[in-house]
């Protein structure tokens, strides 16, 4: 039908992707066709000139990638921790619902550089420097900073991210997590203060 429509619509270019059953072995293969419809002076189609390419491997790889992405999103949305992803260049482009719930932000409102809006001002310079260093080197990212909760309170988080790479070693995206370490830091601070007080009494 698409080809008939192209002929009837008086267009000159036609492309499509479809499956065939290969006669030699009965295997289903994906074919991509790109062609030009040649017409006479009255616009009537007289010849189709083009090429067919077997793109089965590409299509299967794309389907596997979509399946993998769907499984990742399902898992990331189910866990109780903060999970996020970023482009190879470091622009954050997805957060699981836990992040939005914590920050009281609408979906998409933390994308790009907007995530910095919920980082404590005193911690932002260090967080940005560590992120820039990771992006430049491809090394794992790890930093502690305070994140503003929806009620305005700040809690300490340990942020970690690793680069996901393709088979050529090129970074395709970053996958990160934020783990709440606020209670541990408060306990460590109290112990340090207690030890300092005891040391003064000795």
Q: Give phi and psi for 167, each to the nearest 5.
A: -70, -15
Query: Got the DSSP string for 94-161?
Result: EE-HHHHHHHT--TTTTTBTGGGGGB-HHHHHHHHHHHHHHHHH-PPEEEEEEEE-TTS-EEEEEEEE
The pairs formed by 59-62 with CB atoms below 8 angstroms and a separation of 24 or more are: 59/17, 59/30, 60/30
Per-residue pLDDT of the chain (202 residues; tens, 9 = 90+): 455 655 556 667 777 777 888 888 888 887 888 877 777 777 776 777 777 787 777 767 666 657 767 776 777 777 778 999 999 999 999 999 999 999 999 989 999 999 999 999 999 999 999 999 999 999 999 999 999 999 999 999 999 999 999 888 999 999 999 999 999 988 877 777 667 666 666 6
Burial class of residue 119 (count of CB atoms within 10 Å of its CB; 0-12, 13-18, 19+): buried
Question: Is the pTM value of this prediction over 0.85?
Answer: no
């Amino acid at each position: 039908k698409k080809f008939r429509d192209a002929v009837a619509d008086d267009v000159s270019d036609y492309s499509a992707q479809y499956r065939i059953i290969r006669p030699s072995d009965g295997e289903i293969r994906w074919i991509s066709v790109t062609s030009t419809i040649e017409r006479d002076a009255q616009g009537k189609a007289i010849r189709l000139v083009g090429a067919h390419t077997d793109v089965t491997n590409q299509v299967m790889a794309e389907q596997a990638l979509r399946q993998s992405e769907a499984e990742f999103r399902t898992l990331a949305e189910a866990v109780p921790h903060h999970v996020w992803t970023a482009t190879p260049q470091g622009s954050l482009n997805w957060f699981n619902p836990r992040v939005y719930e914590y920050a009281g932000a609408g979906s998409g409102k933390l994308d790009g550089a907007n995530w910095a809006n919920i980082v404590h001002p005193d911690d932002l310079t260090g967080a940005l420097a560590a992120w820039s260093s990771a992006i430049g080197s491809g090394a794992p990212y790890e930093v502690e900073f305070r994140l503003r909760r929806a009620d305005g309170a700040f809690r300490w988080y340990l942020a970690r991210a690793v680069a996901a790479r393709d088979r050529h070693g090129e970074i395709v995206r970053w996958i990160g997590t934020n783990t709440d370490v606020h209670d541990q830091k408060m306990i460590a601070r109290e112990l340090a203060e207690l030890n300092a007080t005891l040391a003064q009494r000795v």
